[in-house]
Amino acid sequence: MGTAEVVAGKCGEAGRMGKDVRSDCHVTVELRSQGGVAVELKSRVGAFYGDAIRAQVQSVLRDLGVAHARVTVTDEGALPFVIAARVEAAVRRAGAGEGKKSLPEKAAHKGGTAQDRLRRSRLYLPGAEPKYFVNAGLHGPDAVILDLEDSVHASEKDTSRVLVRNALRAVDFGAAERMVRINQLPMGVEDLEEVVPEQPDLILIPKVEHAKQVIEVDQAITQIAQRLGLTQPMWLMPILESALGIENAFAIATASDRVVALTIGLEDYTADLGVAKTKTGEESLYARLRLVNAARGAGLQAIDSVFGDVGDMDGLAKWGEQARALGFEGMGCIHPMQIPVIHKAFAPTATEIEKALKIVAAFEEAQAKGTGVVSLGSKMIDAPVVHRAVKLVERARQMGIA
């Protein structure tokens, strides 16, 4: 539910409670000058983890350098990384814990990243709703997006930042690429300060209209990475959500080496144009084609927007197939049940795979013979066609269908 502002630097609260809340908690921290740390706990899992929760709250406050406080926790089965985040956020709102963090235990991260990895589906996870995090990877999305922007209310930006940071560290997202959608600049820089140390694989930058916005984010990441000696790659995916953004697509695409893909936000884009958003998308066709062209021109992936109607799987399948035909390599995803439909839509058909395998075989045969001409039957196969076939086979193998 709602959270209070900091009151005279002495009291802070964070998190949510209420009968519909699950896997989250509400924390109130009242700083005091003596008396140690007193924890009052009301938890639906009190019989199972009451002692552990009390001990954890003590430990988090120690990490944050708070020696005296009265803490009230109303818990609905929040996992440890969530409790830690809510306590830390409450302490910060009370005006303490400056410059300190309480980091949860690090999970093993199996998901890898690569510049050109599969990005068929990117599952959006609202950054203020921890209950969706822990099983997200099990549904097999190519990526998860911990969102700090549009799905997080203005009053929860600070608390969600800490929650997302903890999630990046403590939650096992399986084979998925770990992405974070930061807020527009300048707030986005605060987001980066908090999450970059946990090395997300990719940062989504919303509402990009100029190359310099990308450069600013790139530089902020580089500074943090250098300061902390972080070595893993961190990519960027600018989201174009306005006419101006689409106009500047190529400049944005080439603004930084970190950029691996371009994507589009159709809600904001159609609003910018002043048109209705339809399920067949004629109104945004130009923007999407322009995006594909700019992305491919810069050697990047073109990624499509989300399909908002979770109940319409047929509509989703059609959209996905059309997107693939236009040159998109994936799209956004707002519900786990959309994932298999999207993966199917972006998969090459058996016929396409068979044809591509033949072309690749012909190419390899020509290579072995030392000839420059690749032929299949009576047809000559141009180099770009060979290249496309090689890429298709590679993608199909990554998808496990060839």
Pick from 4, 7, 114, 138 the residue near another protein by CB under 8 A.
Answer: 138
Closest distance to another protein from the beta carbon of 141 (Å): 11
Q: What would the x/- binding string for another protein be over residues 20 to 39, using CB under 8 A?
A: --xx----------------
Closest distance to another protein from the beta carbon of 132 (Å): 9
**395 binding another protein? (CB under 8 A):** no
245, two tokens: 């953004």
Q: Can the peptide bond before residue 186 be classed as cis, meaning omega within 30 degrees of 0?
A: yes
Structural element, H or E, at residue 362: helix 350-369
221, two tokens: 């990441």
Closest distance to another protein from the beta carbon of 171 (Å): 9
Stretch of 27-35, 51-59, 65-73, 232-240 contacting another protein, by CB under 8 A: 51-59
Are 41 and 53 in contact, with CB atoms under 8 Å apart? Answer: yes
**52 binding another protein? (CB under 8 A):** yes
188, two tokens: 């986005």
Closest distance to another protein from the beta carbon of 354 (Å): 22
Report the b/e string of 55-92 with b at 16+ CB within 10 A: ebbbebbebbebeebbbbbbbbbbbbbbbbbbbbbbbb
**139 binding another protein? (CB under 8 A):** yes
**199 binding another protein? (CB under 8 A):** no
- Where on the phi/psi map is residue 200: left (φ > 0), alpha (ψ -120 to 50), or beta? beta
**4 binding another protein? (CB under 8 A):** no
Cα–Cα separations (whole angstroms), residue 205 to 53, 144, 150, 183: 36, 15, 12, 7
Q: What would the x/- binding string for another protein be over residues 301 to 340, using CB under 8 A?
A: ----------------------------------xxx---
Cross-strand partners of 126: 147
Q: Identify which of residues 134 and 244 has a Cβ nearer to another protein in the complex.
A: 134
91, two tokens: 């302490």
**68 binding another protein? (CB under 8 A):** no
Going 7 to 10 to 15 to 17, the CA torsion angle's sign is negative
Residue with tokens 């989300």: 306
Q: On the CB side of 269, how many CA atoms lie within 13 Å of its CA? A: 29
**157 binding another protein? (CB under 8 A):** no
**79 binding another protein? (CB under 8 A):** yes
Stretch of 11-19, 49-57, 254-262, 368-376 contacting another protein, by CB under 8 A: 49-57
**77 binding another protein? (CB under 8 A):** yes
Q: Identify which of residues 130 and 281 has a Cβ nearer to another protein in the complex.
A: 130
With contacts defined by CB under 8 A, how many residues of the chain interact with another protein? 23
**350 binding another protein? (CB under 8 A):** no
Are 183 and 151 in contact, with CB atoms under 8 Å apart? Answer: no
Helix axes 187-195, 157-170, angle to 10 degrees: 30
Pick from 67, 134, 187, 243 the residue near another protein by CB under 8 A.
Answer: 134
Stretch of 11-19, 70-78, 319-327, 358-366 contacting another protein, by CB under 8 A: 70-78
Are 208 and 217 in contact, with CB atoms under 8 Å apart? Answer: no
**51 binding another protein? (CB under 8 A):** yes
Quote the DSSP letter at residue 130: G
* Residues 236 to 255 in contact with another protein, rule: CB under 8 A: none
Q: Identify which of residues 93 and 178 has a Cβ nearer to another protein in the complex.
A: 178
Cα–Cα separations (whole angstroms), residue 301 to 116, 224, 238, 388: 7, 26, 11, 14
CA distance 188 to 210: 15
Give me the amino acid identity at 91: V
Closest distance to another protein from the beta carbon of 133 (Å): 11
Pick from 18, 48, 62, 275 the residue near another protein by CB under 8 A.
Answer: 48
170, two tokens: 């403590």
Q: Identify which of residues 2 and 400 has a Cβ nearer to another protein in the complex.
A: 400
Q: Which residues bind another protein (CB under 8 A)?
A: 22-23, 44-45, 47-52, 56, 76-80, 134-135, 138-139, 335-337
